[in-house]
Structure 1
Amino acid sequence: MTRVLDYFSTLVAEDESLPLTEAVLALAQDAYPDLDMQGTLAELDALVLRLQQHLPDDASIEHKVLQLNDFFFRELGFSSNTNDYYDPDNSHLNMVLKRRRGIPVSLGVLYLEMAGQIGIPVRGVSFPGHFLLRVMTPAGNVMLDPTTGHSLSEGEMIEMLEPYVATAGESVGRALRLLLQPATRREIVARMLRNLKATYLQTERWQRLLAVQQRLVILLSDNIEEVRDRGFAYARLNYLRLALEDLEHYLGDRPDADDAAAVETQLHELRQRAQQNNHD
């Protein structure tokens, strides 16, 4: 596990050089420790070579997008795994590539990789509830749904956004403009990890949750809440000393946090358990 985390740490060390596809693929090493990273990336490159055979050298951005959409969604058959949306494999890029099924953000990462290799200027957008793609064309920006390739109108996006904002009307349109800013590669990796985190919390798979939390602490080194959540994961697995360290660190940094009393209660219980273990 240490080797795998050291590799991930190296990948995400610098924002400017963070290799998005490789970093996202590396998340699957927790579930697939024998994963052939370079072989999987080579498989993706081979798909791009197939796509490039359909493209003339002077293809416009719009033509490239049409060809990529046809290749990605029709020929390769990538789509949303609507039958089992919360399957962790929807976030494991090796399995998304194999099964051609995923969730918006994992499909989006594959689309971004292919688009980038053929010269399409496209960025990911961390839209609430549904990751989007923003293609920059000479005629203006086009927002794509990475599960279908469908070009989204402003009205469709406002409708998608309404469950996430308190009031409808003009404020939704204003919120929409703010939410269509491109996401950084670090933010995209974090979104992938938080999807896995939610799945493992829901299914109470604590060892897998801990692996995700360790990566979140590495990726978001300034986010003390992820250290707290790693402490909770340690506590679930009875790693008492490590749980105490993380939760004490959290309270030391955020003594006035809204959940300070709850964390202090957890710490008290952990200290009692540790003391009991020492007496046994």
Structure 2
Amino acid sequence: MASRFSLPDWDTLATLDDDELPLLAGALLIARDEYPQLDAAGYDALADEYARELREQIAASDSTPAKLIAINRYLFDVLGFSGNHEHYYDPRNSYLNEVFDRKLGIPVSLAVVQMEVARRLGIPLDGVSFPGHFLVRLPVDDGLMVMDPFNRGRPLAADELRDRVCEHLGGEVPDDAQLLQILAPASHRAILVRMLRNLKALYARAEDWDRVARTTDRVIRLMPNAVEELRDRGLAYLRLGWLPGAREDLRRYLALQPAAEDAELVRLALVEASAGRTSLN
């Protein structure tokens, strides 16, 4: 029987509440921007196949952590999914079709595969927008089990998590309440935005302004109030020479953030867009 799985369009996706937003479909929609012919239903079926291979083993275990360990063993040891340590900044690591095909990814994309398989097996695995490195979490009887999908699903102790956070908090060691707040579940919207922003950063580094504009536009669809994305899309449009779009975005950014630290630089860019010049480099 043919799969009924299909991708929404961006306008539809943007209107959904966080709890209705489909993670796999959203991640594949991001990939379809780059790979228009990708077989979305095929990747959904592949996730189903992984879950089917595990279902008997999972059903035989009474322990939720043991079930997740079995999922990790299958994904990382049997199938060979792995963090791409050698070429971390390859954009393919962020496109889910490539992650399924190559078995290589970065923390957030590997987490999406992990979460999707776990969901099909009734295991409440959530993503965590941890500073610097996306993680996954599983509620257990005595607290939380936190794992690193980039390193084969390795469990992380509280002390290691604190050490990882410290460098992002100016050396401050978080207490238990702060750490729990940092480990709060990430919404599907937040996960998709993180994937898009990763791609945006890669393309900006490569000065691929067409793809910067595209990924920034997708973030704006999902988070209309992210005003800094208006600025970045406007600057990308300016570099591409699409002046009407540049003027509109930069004006809106300045109207919303007139006292921003970069307001003067953005005003200069707006003057350039209004004068019809595209000399930014």
1:143 corresponds to 2:143? no
- Displacement of 1:175 after TM fit? 4.1
1:228 corresponds to 2:194? no
Find the partner of 2:9 among 7, 10, 29.
7
- What are the equivalent positions in structure 2 for 1:6-85 lying under 5 Å apart? 7-14=9-16, 15-56=18-59, 59-85=62-88
Structure 2 residue aligned with 1:183: 186
Deviates more, 1:48-57 or 1:36-45: 48-57
Match of 2:54, SS state, is helix
Q: CA 1:18 to 1:215, structure 2 compared with 1: closer, same or farther past 3 Å?
A: same
Match of 1:55, SS state, is helix
Cα displacement string for residues 63-109 of structure 1 (whole angstroms, at most 9, x for unaligned residues): 31121111111111111101110011100000001111100000001
- Displacement of 1:274 after TM fit? 6.0
Structure 1 residue aligned with 2:156: 152
The whole-number CA distance in structure 1 between the counterparts of 2:225 and 2:99 is 30
Structure 1 residue aligned with 2:171: 167
AA aligned opposite 1:98: D
AA aligned opposite 2:163: E
- What are the equivalent positions in structure 2 for 1:169-248 lying under 5 Å apart? 169=173, 171=174, 175-248=178-251
Q: CA 1:43 to 1:203, structure 2 compared with 1: closer, same or farther past 3 Å?
A: same
Residues 158, 176 of structure 1: 8 Å contact kept: yes
Structure 2 residue aligned with 1:278: none
Report the count of equivalent residues.
270
Cα displacement string for residues 178-202 of structure 1 (whole angstroms, at most 9, x for unaligned residues): 2111111111111111100110011
The whole-number CA distance in structure 2 between the counterparts of 1:261 and 1:217 is 23
The whole-number CA distance in structure 2 between the counterparts of 1:274 and 1:136 is 55
Q: CA 1:113 to 1:12, structure 2 compared with 1: closer, same or farther past 3 Å?
A: farther
Q: CA 1:56 to 1:176, structure 2 compared with 1: closer, same or farther past 3 Å?
A: closer
AA aligned opposite 1:151: P
The whole-number CA distance in structure 2 between the counterparts of 1:199 and 1:25 is 19
The whole-number CA distance in structure 2 between the counterparts of 1:224 and 1:67 is 43
Residues 61, 137 of structure 1: 8 Å contact kept: yes
AA aligned opposite 2:230: V
The whole-number CA distance in structure 2 between the counterparts of 1:79 and 1:172 is 32
- Displacement of 1:176 after TM fit? 2.7
Match of 2:127, SS state, is strand
The whole-number CA distance in structure 2 between the counterparts of 1:227 and 1:237 is 15
Cα RMSD (Å) = 1.9
AA aligned opposite 1:10: T
Structure 1 residue aligned with 2:90: 87
The whole-number CA distance in structure 2 between the counterparts of 1:272 and 1:188 is 39
TM-score, normalised on structure 1?
A: 0.91
Query: Which 4+ stretches in 1 moved above 6 angstroms?
Result: none
